[in-house]
Amino acid sequence: MRVYLAPCGIALGHAGRCIPIAKALRSRGDRVFFSTYGEAVQFVKKASFPVGQVPPIRVFEKEDGEFDLRRTLSIGPKNLYTFALQVGAELSLIEHFKPDVVVSDSRLSTVIASRMRRIASVLILHQLRIMIPHKKPIIRKSKLKVKANVERLGLEILGSLWKTSRVIVVPDFPPPYTIAKANVVPSNQYLKKLRLVGPVIPRHPDDLPEQEELKRSLGFDDRPLIFAAISGTKAEKLMITKTIAEIFREFPDSYNIVLSRGLSDVPNPETKSNGGRLRIYNWVDDRYKYLKACDLLVTRGGHNTVGEAIYYGKPMVVIPTVAHSEHQGIAESVEKMGIGTRIQQYDLSKETLCRAVEETMRSESCLKKIRAAQRFARRFNAVDSILKITREVAGKA
């Protein structure tokens, strides 16, 4: 079977969940080709897969990592032109590779191109509803109503295009453990096509040694281990990891700490400080060793990372990106499920982070709830489910 994989290239999350699918396909003798853009291109190449680069859709951020809606909208016509170029590039790449099936991860241009080439497609999508970002809480009912109506309109417009895929795979849990609750709101146009399969997990915890054994092999003593795995766009990661690193350098000696800045395309020297208690990496190749070894995860609230924390049974401290509707919604979900604590970026300090870490790790209720979520997560194997769906859509079942 020949499979064409097209993840969104903004940040690494989409490519990060497509690569395990590609590896599973390759292990079964299938041929795989990638199409993407931006930082994801080199990420896919490092995983040893062929990749075609298409014109990048641009988004802008402010210095604090906040999505810059005004600047992004100002280049709207240019992005529309780029989108048209993307569709053209996809048409050419699909014609060249001649796949049996196209798998798009949040890429509308690929869905349209596969439809034009009359190739059946599978869509991987967890943001069914796009939320309008806002920094301050909206109090006025009239504004809330306008916001809800605009978001619903966007849902239905996009739904009329997403539904051209044969199957829409949602890499999230069903209730009560849905991670992106605010975004996993479908349109009635494609309800019958939806499949909730759970988050894509490249490496399951049962495939690794026990936690204490991993700690010793990584050179840690018996102090609690904090693992800060930072995701997002490159500019955002550079900004927030600088702040977090400074805070961790002043943290109590009662913790071991690993900070991964999430920079896959930057040279990766290890930096140690505080007597080796704090380790900082640009990139961690086997992040799942650290995830299983740790006692608590610090995250930006990326969908993949939170899903992995649930599978590994790790309580979280979430520092969501300012005015990032998805991250903010996921952080709220984590807090409501009782499996972690949320700190807003503008409240981040040594005192607030230290207090959140201590309270989360000492909370019997939090530990009980994350273990219950972990037991629920073990029912799902997203990679196997997506492979089965892909074969069915390609007519290769």
Report the alpha-carbon angle 250-212-260, nearest 5: 45
DSSP-derived pairing of the beta strands 296-299 and 278-281: unpaired
What sign results for the dihedral spanned by CA atoms 81, 237, 266, 224? Answer: negative
User: Residue 138's pLDDT is what?
Assistant: 67
Sheet bearing 31-36, strands edge to edge: 51-53, 31-36, 2-7, 101-105, 121-124, 167-170, 194-196
User: Residue 58's pLDDT is what?
Assistant: 79
**Is 374 within 8 Å of 308 (Cβ atoms)?**
no
User: Residue 69's pLDDT is what?
Assistant: 60
CA dist 321 and 325 (Å) reads 9
Q: What end-to-end distance do the CA atoms of the chain give, in Å?
A: 10
Task: Return the number of other C-beta atoms located less than 10 Å from residue 307's C-beta.
Answer: 26
User: Residue 59's pLDDT is what?
Assistant: 74
| Amino acid residing at 285 | D
Nearest CA to 249 out of 226, 225, 270, 278 is that of 278
CA dist 346 and 396 (Å) reads 51
Residue 136 has φ and ψ, to the nearest 5°, of -105, 150
CA dist 307 and 342 (Å) reads 16
User: Residue 357's pLDDT is what?
Assistant: 98
Q: Is the peptide bond before 55 cis (omega within 30 degrees of 0)?
A: no
User: Residue 135's pLDDT is what?
Assistant: 65
What domains are defined for the chain?
Answer: 2-199+380-394 (3.40.50.2000), 206-377 (3.40.50.2000)
User: Residue 126's pLDDT is what?
Assistant: 94
**Is 12 within 8 Å of 43 (Cβ atoms)?**
yes
> Per-residue pLDDT for the chain (397 aa), expressed as one digit of tens each?
999 999 999 889 999 999 999 999 999 999 999 999 999 999 999 999 999 999 998 776 666 666 666 776 676 678 889 999 999 999 999 999 999 999 999 999 999 999 999 999 999 999 998 776 666 666 677 776 776 677 777 778 888 999 999 999 999 999 999 999 999 988 899 999 999 999 999 999 999 999 999 999 999 999 999 999 999 888 889 999 999 999 999 999 999 999 999 998 887 777 887 777 999 999 998 899 999 999 999 999 999 999 999 999 999 999 999 888 899 999 999 999 999 999 999 999 999 999 999 999 999 999 999 999 999 999 999 999 999 999 999 998 7
| Amino acid residing at 139 | I
CA dist 59 and 51 (Å) reads 22
User: Residue 387's pLDDT is what?
Assistant: 98
